[in-house]
């Protein structure tokens, strides 16, 4: 070791506990101000030439740090050693929550913390700047380096157990106000005491990565529930999944336009007819044969009538002359109009169409069976007949497939969005703001 004009070369020290005579190893050199004798739960002042007792505390049970004191591992590319440990508690609605904080030390780079709650780990460092305060929606917010953190909760935290050593004063029973702001996977926290406010930024950290980094045996505890700054597994995907939906919809629309342009959409048959409801004989008839050419495509049968305040129903069969294959379908057309206090109105349409997808080429004819309301006023007193035009188009693209495809495309973005909302609801249920549902119902009770 090189000598130093600063006096003693830093060496790992050991103290004898004045309370129980046990040995207390110091890993933090002369930086250490308080050290705990784990043997008799005594906090010692390591700065005084004769080690003095600062506090002897009672504890219900000794808490074993999951990462033992003295463990070393790399964080941000530098090695750190666990030198201190404390358990803290906060009470909310009669329930006590406890989390554990590990103090890490590097003799050049200083201190940082690992915190653990219910298997969720965070890697925290103090920040050199002061946050700026603002709002995020209706919640209080703080920004650091232009990054906005939304207030999550404020709680009073009490130290219930300490182990190891600290470069500042620690006592069991000591209380601080802890304010947490989140921007997952990061969390900004203020630890407020009478004399100062310490700001840290923590990053949500995978327990498994810590276990391998600190070369620990076994497995880290399985995380329970959702932690305040735990990144949502689907959040980053919302934008991409909606972006993909938008691209695919544009593509679908383009395909639709191309199909509309290239399909033949040819009128293969058109004829005017008159239907009289009280006429004698069978109302059904067949059309002349028409030819559907080219490849299998949709057939559109269109009806244009002169209905007035009446309805008509058409039963159709599109029959292949050669094979006898028939497509049966029906269509109702109704049109009503009038005047009332609000002015004139109309309902329905004089026209209608039916599209039959996937009709192979061949020679076809239509069997048509019209039917009308014989008791309607128009039938009894006015015109006795309905004129109509039937037209048959071949190659008419069937829009229903595009509509179905559109709704299928909507499924992934909706599922991802719903999952994200569910995750965020669970996250915020643990905050000072409760879940959105809880706040709705409590708002309702206030009325």
Partner 1 sequence: MSQPAANCPNCGAPIQFRWSSGVQTTCEYCKSILVRTDVDLKKVGEVADLPLDASPIQIGTEGAYNNKPFTVIGRIIYEYDQGNWNEWHIVFSDGASGWLSDAQLEYAISFLAPQKAPPKETVYRGSSLTFDKQYQVTSITKAHYAGVQGELPFEYWDKADVTFADMRTSTADFGTIDYSEEPGLLFLGRVVEYDDLKLKNVRQFEGWS
Residue 29 is a binding residue for partner 1 (CB under 8 A): yes
**Residue 260 CB, nearest distance to partner 1 (Å)?**
58
Range in contact with partner 1 (rule: CB under 8 A) among 6-14, 327-335, 337-345, 416-424: 6-14
Residue 106 is a binding residue for partner 1 (CB under 8 A): yes
Q: Give the whole-angstrom CA distance, residue 217 versus residue 233.
A: 28
**Interacting residues of 206 by C-beta distance below 8 A, sequence separation 6+:** 121
The residue count for binding partner 1 (CB under 8 A) is 39
Q: Is 368 exposed, middle or buried (0-12, 13-18, 19+ CB in 10 A)?
A: buried
**Residue 198 CB, nearest distance to partner 1 (Å)?**
9
- Of 299, 297, 296, 295, nearest to 268 by C-alpha is 299
User: Cβ distance 278 to 435 under 8 Å?
Assistant: no
Of 9 and 414, the one with the shorter C-beta distance to partner 1 is: 9
Residue 214 is a binding residue for partner 1 (CB under 8 A): no
DSSP 8-state symbol, 284 = -
Residue 7 is a binding residue for partner 1 (CB under 8 A): yes
Residues numbered 109-148 forming contacts with partner 1, rule: CB under 8 A: 109-111, 126-132, 144
Of 44 and 66, the one with the shorter C-beta distance to partner 1 is: 44
Residue 70 is a binding residue for partner 1 (CB under 8 A): no
**Residue 25 CB, nearest distance to partner 1 (Å)?**
13
Q: Give the whole-angstrom CA distance, residue 136 versus residue 148.
A: 8
Q: In this chain, which of 18, 39, 96, 168 binds partner 1, going by CB under 8 A? A: 168
Residue 12 is a binding residue for partner 1 (CB under 8 A): yes
Residue 415 is a binding residue for partner 1 (CB under 8 A): no
Q: Give the whole-angstrom CA distance, residue 122 versus residue 148.
A: 19
Of 5 and 95, the one with the shorter C-beta distance to partner 1 is: 5
Q: In this chain, which of 39, 47, 254, 404 binds partner 1, going by CB under 8 A? A: 47
**Residue 29 CB, nearest distance to partner 1 (Å)?**
3
Of 12 and 217, the one with the shorter C-beta distance to partner 1 is: 12
**Interacting residues of 272 by C-beta distance below 8 A, sequence separation 6+:** 387, 388, 389
Residue 171 is a binding residue for partner 1 (CB under 8 A): no
Residue 2 is a binding residue for partner 1 (CB under 8 A): yes
Of 167 and 220, the one with the shorter C-beta distance to partner 1 is: 167
Residue 169 is a binding residue for partner 1 (CB under 8 A): yes
- Of 158, 153, 155, nearest to 228 by C-alpha is 153
Residue 108 is a binding residue for partner 1 (CB under 8 A): yes
Residue 246 is a binding residue for partner 1 (CB under 8 A): no
Range in contact with partner 1 (rule: CB under 8 A) among 5-13, 61-69, 293-301, 412-420: 5-13
Q: Is 388 exposed, middle or buried (0-12, 13-18, 19+ CB in 10 A)?
A: buried
Of 68 and 412, the one with the shorter C-beta distance to partner 1 is: 68
Structure tokens at 19: 């309370």
Q: How many CB atoms lie within 10 A of CB 45?
A: 15
Residue 324 is a binding residue for partner 1 (CB under 8 A): no
**Residue 73 CB, nearest distance to partner 1 (Å)?**
14
Q: Give the whole-angstrom CA distance, residue 401 versus residue 413.
A: 20
Residue 48 is a binding residue for partner 1 (CB under 8 A): no
User: Cβ distance 275 to 386 under 8 Å?
Assistant: yes
**Residue 237 CB, nearest distance to partner 1 (Å)?**
33
Of 76 and 332, the one with the shorter C-beta distance to partner 1 is: 76
3-class secondary structure, 82: strand
- Of 137, 242, 122, nearest to 186 by C-alpha is 122
Residue 250, Cα to own-chain centre: how many angstroms? Answer: 24
**Residue 222 CB, nearest distance to partner 1 (Å)?**
34
Q: Give the whole-angstrom CA distance, residue 24 versus residue 19.
A: 11
Residue 347 is a binding residue for partner 1 (CB under 8 A): no
Q: Is residue 262 within a helix (H) or strand (E), and if so which, with residue range?
A: helix 235-262
Range in contact with partner 1 (rule: CB under 8 A) among 157-165, 166-174, 281-289, 315-323: 166-174
Residue 193 is a binding residue for partner 1 (CB under 8 A): no
In the chain, the N- to C-terminal Cα span, in Å, equals 75
Q: Half-sphere exposure of 365 toward its Cβ, with a 13 Å CA cutoff?
A: 10
Q: Give the whole-angstrom CA distance, residue 87 versus residue 99.
A: 6
DSSP string over 361-379: SEEEEEEEEEEE-TTSHHH
Residues numbered 280-319 forming contacts with partner 1, rule: CB under 8 A: none
Residue 5 is a binding residue for partner 1 (CB under 8 A): yes
Length of the chain in terms of residues written: 447
Residue 167 is a binding residue for partner 1 (CB under 8 A): yes
Structure tokens at 189: 């926290």
Q: Which residues bind partner 1 (CB under 8 A)?
A: 1-2, 4-12, 28-31, 33, 47, 78-79, 106-111, 126-132, 144, 167-169, 195-197
């Amino acid at each position: 070791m090189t000598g130093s004009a600063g006096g003693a070369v830093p060496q790992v020290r050991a103290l004898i506990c004045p309370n129980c005579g046990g040995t207390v190893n110091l890993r933090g050199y002369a930086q250490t101000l308080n050290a705990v004798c784990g043997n008799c739960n005594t906090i010692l002042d390591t700065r005084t030439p004769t080690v003095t007792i600062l506090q002897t505390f009672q504890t219900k049970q000794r808490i074993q740090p999951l990462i033992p004191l003295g463990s070393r591992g790399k964080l941000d590319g530098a090695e750190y050693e666990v030198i201190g440990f404390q358990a803290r508690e906060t009470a909310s609605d009669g329930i006590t929550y406890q989390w554990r904080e590990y103090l890490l030390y590097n003799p050049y780079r200083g201190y940082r913390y690992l915190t653990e709650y219910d298997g969720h780990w965070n890697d925290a460092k103090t920040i050199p700047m002061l946050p700026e305060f603002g709002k995020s929606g209706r919640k209080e917010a703080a920004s650091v380096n232009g990054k906005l953190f939304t207030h999550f909760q404020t709680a009073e935290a009490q130290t219930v157990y300490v182990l190891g050593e600290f470069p500042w004063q620690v006592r069991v029973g000591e209380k601080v106000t802890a304010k947490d702001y989140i921007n997952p996977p990061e969390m900004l926290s203020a630890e407020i005491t009478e004399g100062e406010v310490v700001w840290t930024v923590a990053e949500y950290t995978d327990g498994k990565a810590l276990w391998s980094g600190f070369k620990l045996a076994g497995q880290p505890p399985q995380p329970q529930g959702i932690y305040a700054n735990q990144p949502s597994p689907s959040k980053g995907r919302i934008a991409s999944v909606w972006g993909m939906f938008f691209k695919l919809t544009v593509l679908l629309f383009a395909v639709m336009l191309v199909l509309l342009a290239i399909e033949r959409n040819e009128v293969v048959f058109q004829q005017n007819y008159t239907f009289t409801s009280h006429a004698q004989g069978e109302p059904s008839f067949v059309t002349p044969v028409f030819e559907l050419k080219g490849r299998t495509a949709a057939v559109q049968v269109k009806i244009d009538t002169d209905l007035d305040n009446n309805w008509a129903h058409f039963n159709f069969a599109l029959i292949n002359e050669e094979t006898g294959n028939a497509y049966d379908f029906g269509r109702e057309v109704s049109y009503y109009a009038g005047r009332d206090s609000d002015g004139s109105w109309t309902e329905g349409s004089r026209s209608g169409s039916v599209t039959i997808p996937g009709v192979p080429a061949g020679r076809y004819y239509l069997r048509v069976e019209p039917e009308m309301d014989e008791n309607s006023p128009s039938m009894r007193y006015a015109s006795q007949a309905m004129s109509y035009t039937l037209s048959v188009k071949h190659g008419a693209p069937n829009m229903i497939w595009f509509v179905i495809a559109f709704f299928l495309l909507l499924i992934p973005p909706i599922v991802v969005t719903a999952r994200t909302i569910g995750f965020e609801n669970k996250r915020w249920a643990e905050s000072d703001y409760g879940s959105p549902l809880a706040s709705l119902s409590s708002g309702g009770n206030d009325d």
